[in-house]
Structure 1
């Protein structure tokens, strides 16, 4: 654990909280012997010679009424070193005759060091959170591919395997923040506690494992979730549904979007954009959306016309088109002809020189293989057009 720098903003709340219990004035001095916190405000930013002696010798200094002239800026009292991580980082002093406040001073020193130790731990946690958030922000940006060395260095610090297959999940946590602010007030501490509660709730197997990364970006919770390469899309959705159910059981009603599973760290930014698009596509009746939903996917590809070659969810459908069944029934020529004839079954069958029932049979097989039904859905038809464009 890193040694914490003792500052006025940290020290003064300690003084303010302990003084009502101690019923004596308390001073806290920094490593230079300057008073940085006190119950006697006029003494703040003045030099305390007794404290400087404590710093220099790492020993308790007791100041009696008859030796005040030896200690510039001091009053009768007892001054003890504040030790953090094995180092003297400052001094805590309590006013009064040393013989009368000795036991009280020990208690004040112990409480002060415990508060500082807790703050140091929290600061370390905050630093870890900040490191993870900065790492995730770069990983999900357009610059990930050109920052491999930086990403690799941070990944090692976080014990994060950079090249595992992962998808991105995005949860809109604004509703829970709004509720927390309504109940407890609008401040950073309330927001932090609300975020911590959600992370603590989901950060356990099978929802989140050591191979995953959980961060916050603004009012969204982001999970970079590892799945094996051959995992089916239905399994991603099942995982997302289980996560939502866990939140609902704890009276947290949130909504989430899922991107596609990508094989490279450089493609996580696209999975993130897919998850955001899916999340924003949700209507008031649904709480989970995935880029593998054909209606969402087609709308996404129409908006992002330049990514059809790299869109992983589209590649999943394309992979199904390589099956023997698809080749046997000349599916490409069949679907292209159908599109060219505005979904007219009779005209398409005539142009293909096949019976109408043969065409209907092919379309049934096509739906069984890919899940697409272009005759009954405009979005499915748009996906077919994208899939079979030369």
Structure 2
């Protein structure tokens, strides 16, 4: 942290806060004696020779009426060096007879130094949050070698042996309202202790929470996610440990969100354990092999303009490949389901009474390079 921490804005806050309770003018100067803030606006930007002397010699400089006549831009008063963690960051001055304002000057210095330290701590927290955010983005995307992850995590006090699961959050629609909801969630999550937040994609938030701890922040995270449902969709993956934990946890969550978006557009919250096979296959299905596996599904979707056959197949899967149970779920006769399954077979070239064929069609929505 440098002397630049004493910004004009912080100096103005010091002046406003102290002058609101005393009857004297207060000036705040940088280490070069330049007035950053003052009760007299016309003095801002001028060099205060008394403050410059206080900074250069790192001592309290009192200016009597007789001394003020010999110095440029100076009025009677007292100037006190400001320090933060042993480093001189500026000077605070109070106008008046030194005998009258000496005690007030010490009190104002304590107040100003406290405000500087608070600003320093806030900036340090913000810097650390940004670095953690950058680390999370790179680690989750697989852009870091194991050694880089280990060294960087150690510097940020991140325990790689703590099991963590990822939750990937994305807007439910591409509107400014939904984007704002994502930004708002990120700000709220930054206040939850034990949670690590980053981005791999611009419109996607990845949240890492400890897994298996009795006092973990997942309760707070879950509450924030519930509050955002409707504007945001999210999916949670499996827990992992070690240098590869961030990438693996992220991928299981991301692929869960992807596949649930393809097969279910009605909900907002999902878990890897709801669709483990689809999520894992989705991560391996890009390329020409995935295209071949997806062909039967794509033929079915193209031929099924009403969506009746797709809905029937979904019910068939949900009811463990039982035509009778699927008929009950769809509120139609069992023979209607059998007829539709036969139509699906004619269109796709697959047999709906043959498990490998059913599995191939089941995987179709999440495979293929165009998904």
**TM-score of the superposition, structure 2-length normalised?**
0.63
- How far did 1:5 drift? 3.2
- How far did 1:125 drift? 0.5
Provide the residue aligned with 1:224 in structure 2: 208
- How far did 1:142 drift? 4.8
- How far did 1:121 drift? 0.7
- Output the CA distance in 1 between the equivalents of 2:87 and 2:76: 26
Provide the residue aligned with 1:215 in structure 2: 197
Tell me, yes or no, if the aligned pair for 1:33 and 1:52 is still in contact at 8 Å.
yes
CA, structure 1 residues 5+98, in 2 after alignment: closer, same or farther (shift >3 Å)?
Answer: same
Query: Deviation string for 1:320-376 (max 9, x for gaps)?
Result: xxxxxxxxxxxxxxxxxx9x961243xx6xxxxxxxxxxxxxx5xxxxxxxxx9649
Tell me, yes or no, if the aligned pair for 1:255 and 1:288 is still in contact at 8 Å.
yes
Tell me, yes or no, if the aligned pair for 2:3 and 2:88 is still in contact at 8 Å.
no
Query: Deviation string for 1:75-132 (max 9, x for gaps)?
Result: 1111111121123221101122223333332332222111111101101101110110
Provide the residue aligned with 1:323 in structure 2: none
- Output the CA distance in 2 between the equivalents of 1:252 and 1:124: 29
SS in structure 2 at match of 1:105: helix
- Output the CA distance in 2 between the equivalents of 1:240 and 1:108: 40
Provide the residue aligned with 1:160 in structure 2: 158
Provide the residue aligned with 1:102 in structure 2: 102
- Output the CA distance in 1 between the equivalents of 2:225 and 2:126: 28
Aligned partner (choices 347, 350, 362) of residue 342 of structure 1:
350
- Output the CA distance in 2 between the equivalents of 1:20 and 1:8: 18
Provide the residue aligned with 1:259 in structure 2: 237
Runs of 4+ aligned residues of structure 1 deviating over 6 Å after TM superposition are: 1-4
- Output the CA distance in 1 between the equivalents of 2:136 and 2:352: 48
- How far did 1:139 drift? 1.0
CA, structure 1 residues 14+276, in 2 after alignment: closer, same or farther (shift >3 Å)?
Answer: farther
- How far did 1:50 drift? 0.9
- How far did 1:225 drift? 4.4
Tell me, yes or no, if the aligned pair for 2:234 and 2:257 is still in contact at 8 Å.
yes
- Output the CA distance in 2 between the equivalents of 1:64 and 1:291: 75
SS in structure 1 at match of 2:253: helix
Query: Deviation string for 1:12-37 (max 9, x for gaps)?
Result: 23223433333432211111222222
Provide the residue aligned with 2:37 in structure 1: 37
Structure 1, unmatched stretches of 5+, are: 183-190, 229-234, 309-337, 349-362, 364-372
Tell me, yes or no, if the aligned pair for 1:144 and 1:266 is still in contact at 8 Å.
no
Tell me, yes or no, if the aligned pair for 2:209 and 2:218 is still in contact at 8 Å.
no
More displaced, 26-35 or 165-174? 165-174
- Output the CA distance in 2 between the equivalents of 1:20 and 1:69: 28
Structure 2, unmatched stretches of 5+, are: 291-344
CA, structure 1 residues 374+73, in 2 after alignment: closer, same or farther (shift >3 Å)?
Answer: farther
CA, structure 1 residues 112+220, in 2 after alignment: closer, same or farther (shift >3 Å)?
Answer: farther
Query: Deviation string for 1:32-89 (max 9, x for gaps)?
Result: 2222222323322222221122123332212121211343321111111112112322
- Output the CA distance in 2 between the equivalents of 1:261 and 1:167: 4
**2:362 corresponds to 1:379:** yes
Tell me, yes or no, if the aligned pair for 1:169 and 1:258 is still in contact at 8 Å.
yes
Tell me, yes or no, if the aligned pair for 1:24 and 1:96 is still in contact at 8 Å.
yes
SS in structure 2 at match of 1:51: helix
Tell me, yes or no, if the aligned pair for 1:4 and 1:84 is still in contact at 8 Å.
no
CA, structure 1 residues 166+102, in 2 after alignment: closer, same or farther (shift >3 Å)?
Answer: closer
CA, structure 1 residues 115+374, in 2 after alignment: closer, same or farther (shift >3 Å)?
Answer: farther
Tell me, yes or no, if the aligned pair for 2:8 and 2:36 is still in contact at 8 Å.
yes
Provide the residue aligned with 2:269 in structure 1: 288
The alignment yields a C-alpha RMSD, in angstroms, of 4.5
Tell me, yes or no, if the aligned pair for 1:167 and 1:224 is still in contact at 8 Å.
yes
CA, structure 1 residues 173+52, in 2 after alignment: closer, same or farther (shift >3 Å)?
Answer: farther
- Output the CA distance in 1 between the equivalents of 2:283 and 2:150: 31
SS in structure 1 at match of 2:5: coil
**TM-score of the superposition, structure 1-length normalised?**
0.60
